[in-house]
């Protein structure tokens, strides 16, 4: 195999390193699966979605996990509690503890790095039809949001399923 002159080898090595670095910065692709009506949802998923739906309009409150006020992981805790499924309290603990899935189904959790620190700082509940229910932040209320927008796609870390 012929050897490259030193400057060419250095440029090739630098280019490969840059490509690897850029690939490492890319988030995982957010893939979803909306079951056909005939497939149905488990009772647990139906309860999770009903509780999350009932929370729409609830004011954001940091550390909140009750109808008086919710943060993003508190919304998850409240909704999963309604289905009898215990989950860790914070978004990052939920992300690390719950079983990951390649394709989110309604009732699964979607995790995002919104703080740029390489860990889950936001979580939403996948509602189906490309929408999630989440508690977006101070001064806002629990709402639905499309998951296909660039903001969420660029920050997506992964999905998890704690419900059957």
Structural domain spans, the chain: 30-160
pLDDT > 80? residue 151: yes
At 31, the pLDDT band (50, 70, 90 cuts) reads confident
pLDDT of amino acid 112: 98
**What integer pLDDT is reported at residue 37 of this predicted model?**
57
33 a catalytic residue? no
To the query of whether residue 122 is one of the catalytic residues in this protein, the response is yes
**For residue 30, what pLDDT is reported?**
77
134 annotated active-site: yes
Q: pLDDT band at residue 35, thresholds of 50, 70 and 90?
A: low
pTM score, two decimals?
Answer: 0.80
What CATH class does 30-160 carry?
alpha beta
Closest CA to 126 of 68, 56, 25, 45: 45
Report residue 9's pLDDT band, with 50, 70 and 90 as the boundaries: very low
**Cα 108 to Cα 111: distance, rounded to the nearest angstrom:** 10
Q: Which position among 45, 122, 127, 155 bears the catalytic label? A: 122
Which residue out of 72, 125, 132, 160 is catalytically annotated?
Answer: 72
**Active-site pick, 105, 127, 134, 155:** 134
């Amino acid at each position: 195999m012929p050897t490259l002159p030193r400057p060419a080898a250095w440029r090739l090595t630098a280019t490969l390193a840059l490509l690897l670095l850029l690939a490492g910065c890319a988030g995982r692709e957010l893939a979803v699966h909306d079951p056909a009506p005939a497939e149905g949802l488990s009772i647990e998923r139906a309860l999770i979605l009903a509780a999350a739906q009932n929370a729409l309009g609830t004011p954001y409150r940091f550390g909140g996990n009750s109808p008086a006020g919710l943060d993003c992981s508190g919304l998850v805790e409240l909704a999963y509690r309604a289905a009898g499924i215990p989950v860790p309290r914070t978004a990052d603990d939920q992300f690390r503890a719950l079983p990951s899935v390649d394709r989110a189904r309604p009732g699964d959790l979607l995790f995002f790095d919104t703080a740029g620190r390489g860990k889950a700082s936001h979580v939403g509940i996948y509602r189906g039809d490309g929408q999630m229910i989440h508690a977006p932040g101070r001064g806002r209320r629990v709402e639905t949001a499309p998951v296909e927008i660039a903001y969420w796609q660029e920050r997506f870390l992964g999905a998890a399923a704690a419900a059957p």
